[in-house]
Structure 1
Amino acid sequence: MTACLRRFGITVDLGDPAPPPFSQNARRYGLADEARASRLGYSTPEITKRPSRPDLPAKARKAAWGDGPAKIRGRDLPEGGCVGEAGRTLNAGAEPAGTLADRLAFTALEASEKDRRVRAAFARWSVCMRRAGHAYATPRDANRDRRFIDGPGHRIGPAETAVAVADVRCKQQVRLIDIWASVEAAYQKRLIARHKTELERDRAALQTRIDTANSVLHRPLK
């Protein structure tokens, strides 16, 4: 993007991309960090306060996303602006990006959530929560409590943090995450075996994109 913008006489510091707010599976089974639960409850300020686009000057914004005239300084903007050009550069030579792995991951999670072993762990967790004074059938119900949903004017209060801390402690007490993760892993392995050929093709396409990205990163800016 920086190299593309320079072709139009625009020099801006795009900065580093915002890091992911959580590691990939940090909240896969809901809250798991008691220290965080005691401070933030179910709130996720890392997500709600994350900007969707870099804050660029108007001219740079038009060139970056193609929002505006088709030409800048007599030069034709690439389709989709410099963002579009960057995407095409990074995907060059690779098969179209697949979503199979993501879809299988969701399928495995959904199946594990209905598994009798996980449902039994949910029931034990629910009993533990009831003893702490909170009535929820599953961790999803606690996480989706309308009182605790991030939004304009939402304030984290003692009611939310009390439920969140009890949630984490009860998960630990009944070993819910250990059970849920092992059950889901079994479903994942079955799906991986069933879709091995397609997944290997997607892995090769991903490796092509990684190789291209590394090549771009070592290319001097013009």
Structure 2
Amino acid sequence: MGRTRRGAVAALAAAVALAMCTGCGTEGRAARDPGPGATGAARAAAVELTAGQSRLLERAEQVLIGRCMAQRGFRYAVTEPPPQARAKRSFPYGLDDVAWARAHGYGGRDDRASEAARRADPNQRYFHGLSARGRAAARTALMGASPAGLTATAPTGTTLTASPDGCIARAERSLYGDLAAWFRVKVVTMNIRPAQEAKVRADPRYAEAVGAWAACMRAAGRPYASPDDSRAAAAAFAEELPPDRADAAESALAVAEATCATGTGLSRVSQALDHSYGDEFRARHRGDIDLRRRLQNAALPEAERVVPPSDRPHEPAGGTETTDGPDQPDRTTPSTDTSGGPHA
């Protein structure tokens, strides 16, 4: 995929473990979009997946990638993302959870653990063991010869492209039927949050709140103009200090950032703006959100056929979706680490 498929290249080149497709066999199942006027059972299918159902689709996609890659002469192992990747949080407008900051800093320790897990990923090890020619052939097998044939415009305004060939496309077609429709709604819904966050950051009310936060940080001996600046300073600790000292310095700075975010208007203003713009974007893209859900729900029987009961992920306690999907107003998002995770 033009730019998004680079995430898929990372799935092969950096971890090939991105659960990106869903089947290498039953091609051509039509997407069952009941249309905007549908009611009753047809509309009831547009329900949000539970966390367990979402992970089942991810697992099925990986299984089918593996089958497809094997048919093309390559290995692909089904993997699970490391626990720290599932639990990782993102604070796009400034860290505002003091307890989390005290325990995790900016996530440096978690990032090191994720990186170690990524290096140990069997797909990564296999890929890097191939010759340069073999790696190029493996990429082509996974993603197709060139990112052309599928096109969609994200809410950010960026046009993304992908190949309708390769194991990714073959598998997604098997699960979701109408590959072009699935590609489009996936690109749209997975890019709602970036567009939403850009609107928040451009809002004068957010800029005013950042100014108050910066004044608080200066008073605390931390002269940073924005949360981005303090985060950049924390990243420098990892390059300049031994791990233990870097973690301590990072945590102290993160606690200062979170304390000022909650003590000034930054946390409150950013949450309110995020909720407001989130509502706006979700209303604007409601048709794509519903179609994605219908396609995913329609894909579940196929996923259940692909993944044996003994290999299915367990439903987390509560049974609700934990990812920050297009209908989720929560500002904190899970990691997009590619080891075993979904792709865009």
Question: What secondary structure is seen at the aligned counterpart in 2 of 1:133?
Answer: coil
Cα distance in structure 2, aligned partners of 1:147 and 1:31: 14
Question: What secondary structure is seen at the aligned counterpart in 2 of 1:137?
Answer: coil
Residue of structure 2 in register with 1:165 after alignment: 255
Pairwise CA distance, 1:52? 5.7
| Aligned: 1:213 with 2:303 | yes
Residue of structure 2 in register with 1:76 after alignment: none
- Say if 1:126 and 1:136, in contact at 8 Å, map to a contact too: yes
Residue identity in the other structure for 2:118: P
Cα distance in structure 2, aligned partners of 1:22 and 1:33: 18
Cα distance in structure 1, aligned partners of 2:272 and 2:238: 30
- Say if 1:111 and 1:187, in contact at 8 Å, map to a contact too: yes
Question: What secondary structure is seen at the aligned counterpart in 2 of 1:32?
Answer: coil
Residue of structure 2 in register with 1:55 after alignment: 122
Instruction: From the superposition, tell whether residues 121 and 47 of structure 1 become closer, same or farther in structure 2 (CA, over 3 Å).
Output: same
Between 1:177-186 and 1:142-151, the stretch displaced more is 142-151
- Say if 1:42 and 1:160, in contact at 8 Å, map to a contact too: yes
Residue of structure 1 in register with 2:220 after alignment: 132
Question: What secondary structure is seen at the aligned counterpart in 1 of 2:182?
Answer: coil
Match among 129, 143, 146 for residue 231 of structure 2: 143
Pairwise CA distance, 1:86? 7.6
Question: What secondary structure is seen at the aligned counterpart in 1 of 2:225?
Answer: coil
Superposed CA RMSD in Å reads 4.1
Instruction: From the superposition, tell whether residues 114 and 89 of structure 1 become closer, same or farther in structure 2 (CA, over 3 Å).
Output: closer
Pairwise CA distance, 1:169? 0.8
Residue of structure 2 in register with 1:41 after alignment: 105
Residue identity in the other structure for 1:170: C
Match among 288, 297, 307 for residue 198 of structure 1: 288
* Structure 2 unaligned residues grouped into runs of 5+: 1-62, 144-165, 312-344
Higher relative contact order structure (alpha carbons within 8 Å, sequence separation ≥ 6): 2
- Say if 1:101 and 1:199, in contact at 8 Å, map to a contact too: yes
Between 1:113-122 and 1:158-167, the stretch displaced more is 158-167
Match among 237, 257, 268 for residue 178 of structure 1: 268
Cα distance in structure 2, aligned partners of 1:209 and 1:24: 28
Bigger radius of gyration among the two: 1
- Say if 2:210 and 2:266, in contact at 8 Å, map to a contact too: yes
Residue of structure 1 in register with 2:334 after alignment: none
Cα distance in structure 1, aligned partners of 2:237 and 2:169: 34
| Aligned: 1:96 with 2:198 | no
Instruction: From the superposition, tell whether residues 210 and 171 of structure 1 become closer, same or farther in structure 2 (CA, over 3 Å).
Output: farther
Between 1:128-137 and 1:21-30, the stretch displaced more is 21-30
- Say if 2:200 and 2:273, in contact at 8 Å, map to a contact too: yes
Cα distance in structure 1, aligned partners of 2:290 and 2:266: 32
Question: So what's the TM-score if we normalise by structure 1?
Answer: 0.68
Residue identity in the other structure for 1:55: P
Question: So what's the TM-score if we normalise by structure 2?
Answer: 0.47
Number of positions where the alignment pairs a residue of Structure 1 with one of Structure 2: 207
| Aligned: 1:108 with 2:192 | no
Instruction: From the superposition, tell whether residues 161 and 215 of structure 1 become closer, same or farther in structure 2 (CA, over 3 Å).
Output: same
- Say if 2:108 and 2:247, in contact at 8 Å, map to a contact too: no
Cα distance in structure 2, aligned partners of 1:121 and 1:130: 14
Residue of structure 1 in register with 2:92 after alignment: 28
Pairwise CA distance, 1:106? 1.0
- Say if 1:42 and 1:149, in contact at 8 Å, map to a contact too: no
Cα distance in structure 1, aligned partners of 2:281 and 2:126: 47
- Say if 1:171 and 1:177, in contact at 8 Å, map to a contact too: yes
Residue identity in the other structure for 1:88: R
Residue identity in the other structure for 2:121: P
Cα distance in structure 2, aligned partners of 1:130 and 1:141: 13
Instruction: From the superposition, tell whether residues 114 and 128 of structure 1 become closer, same or farther in structure 2 (CA, over 3 Å).
Output: same
* Structure 1 unaligned residues grouped into runs of 5+: 71-78
Pairwise CA distance, 1:165? 1.2
